Amino acid sequence: MFTLSKENKEKFQQQVNNIDKHDESKVRQNIEKEISILENKIKKRPSHKLEQLIENTKLLYEILSRKDFPISESTRKWIVFGLGYLISDIDLIPDSIPGIGYLDDAMIVSWVLNMIDQDVTRFEYFKKAKKYAQEGNILKELVQGNGEQLIILIPGFLENSRNEKEDTKWLKSLRSIEHKYLSTGYSLLNWNIAYLPEFSNTITLIDHKLSLKPQYDSEAFGIEWQQLKLDMNNLGIALLKDIKTIIKTNPEKEIIIIAINIGSIAVTKALSELEDESISRLFLLGATSTEDEIQRSIFGKSNYIYNIYSTNDHAIQFIYDNYEEGSTACGLKFIRSSSKSLVKNIDAGKQIARHHEYRYELSSLIIQCLE
């Protein structure tokens, strides 16, 4: 069985370090031809191992080619190395040897995929969010209700629903809010950001009563934050489709949206394409969107906007200090009303010492808005 020796891995690592734009250009010019050669070999002589090599090669090339999918320079070099090895004439095992000629290529490509496994996982979720944008159906119904009111909850980071037990907790919190209708429907944006480990872990550490400054991978955090915004925009398109379906099915239904932190991006994207006053009430808790984004996309689409913010929010402040310089999130400040929408600002600084407390104070904050 063919395996990579320690010496080979060290040599290849050095080659990865030396990858440059010329190497990438060569790969882009030749990889599709190489894939075509492999596919022709499959037609003449079916091989499961060659099929796997083709599938893995296409995946690497797709990740490299997507201009809207963020990757690090290190990941880019690893991909170029793997694809470059496949198109190279210099192999550990010559491709011309029948039956085993592509064993080393398959091993190298598989090794590269393993080296960038977190990027591969991110890419799977990236494509999943894109698929939701095309098809909709992103809302998970918690309670159907038979009244004239629907509450849609969009969790964000730190509060994301991860299982049925968590969904039950959300529902219990929402049901503690008093409404004028006796049978309210509840739906939840069904998304989980656990596929962004550097972002999730770092934000959790930052969101601490001592305002800790942990060691973290700044590049990885920035890439994952960038992807999170892209994904939430795609989920916003999916949300738009679902809301339109709800309105078409029951045009008299009152729709209320509650969005926490990054959920404001999905709402901003969805509401920007809706008719005016389609949403009855919109609650933003610790929103990561800026005032300009809210005014441009949401004003006029919701009769009432409640901006619940805290100047003590270390998590959002960290993001904006390091990755969104030159602007301020609504979750950190008072925002203005306009002739199109009435905005009520609630300074939750005394209740919210840490960002994750928005979850536990959800019902009391919304009740406070409605007083």
Domains of the chain: 6-115 (no CATH), 138-370 (3.40.50)
pLDDT tens, residue by residue, 299-335:
989 889 999 999 989 899 999 999 998 889 999 999 9
Contact 118, 222 (CB under 8 A): no
pLDDT tens, residue by residue, 80-130:
999 999 988 555 444 443 444 478 888 899 999 999 999 999 999 999 999
DSSP 117-161: HHHHHHHHHHHHHHHHHHH---EEEEE--SSSEEEEEE--SSS--
Structure confidence at residue 160 as a pLDDT band (50, 70, 90): low
Sheet of 139-143, strand order = 139-143, 185-189, 149-154, 254-260, 279-285, 302-309, 342-347
Rounded to two decimals, what is the model's pTM? 0.91
Looking at the chain, the whole-number percentage of residues with pLDDT higher than 90 is 60
Beta-bridge mates of residue 187: 141, 152
Percent of residues in the chain assigned helix, strand, coil, to nearest 5: 55, 15, 35
Q: How many CB atoms lie within 10 A of CB 130?
A: 19
Task: Give the number of C-alpha atoms closer than 13 A to the C-alpha of residue 77, restricted to the C-beta side.
Answer: 12
Provide the CA 240 distance to its chain's centre, in angstroms. 17
Cα dihedral across residues 199, 202, 203, 204: positive or negative: positive
pLDDT tens, residue by residue, 182-207:
678 999 999 999 899 999 999 988 88
At 298, the amino acid letter reads: I
Q: Are strands 185-189 and 139-143 parallel, antiparallel or unpaired?
A: antiparallel
At 207, the amino acid letter reads: D
Indicate the helix (H) or strand (E) that contains 283: strand 279-285
pLDDT of residue 182: 63
Contact 228, 206 (CB under 8 A): no
pLDDT tens, residue by residue, 22-48:
999 999 999 999 999 999 988 888 888
